Amino acid sequence: METKSYKMIKTIERIVELLRISDEPDSIYYHDFLVYVFGELKKPHELNKIAENILSVYGGMCTFGDVVIYKNGEYLKEEHREFDKLRENLYQECKEARDS
């Protein structure tokens, strides 16, 4: 059975891969943020605190929810579709971890 931390790690790993493709400044910023979070998840941690930290980047304008996958000014439809689904999964995983 997968732990909540493990599920979150797997989701973040794939999101980071997709963000690495994009050359948009917001993508680069959130890539670096999630790499940091990934490192925190690999150490002993309090998952609810990490989940709360991740959830904080979802609200408002110009946030994680607004990131679009572009490369050289070209919208990458398939990559963005996968990214969008993973971003929603991560949100749900974090809500569950925070609330448990």
- Write the pLDDT tens digit of every residue in 28-86: 999 999 999 999 999 999 999 999 999 999 988 889 999 999 999 999 999 999 999 99
* pLDDT greater than 90 at residue 100: no
Closest CA to 87 of 61, 73, 100, 68: 68
Query: Given this model, what pLDDT does residue 50 score?
Result: 96
Closest CA to 31 of 67, 3, 58: 67
Mean pLDDT of the 14-23 span: 97
Query: Given this model, what pLDDT does residue 6 score?
Result: 93
Query: Given this model, what pLDDT does residue 8 score?
Result: 96
Query: Given this model, what pLDDT does residue 1 score?
Result: 62
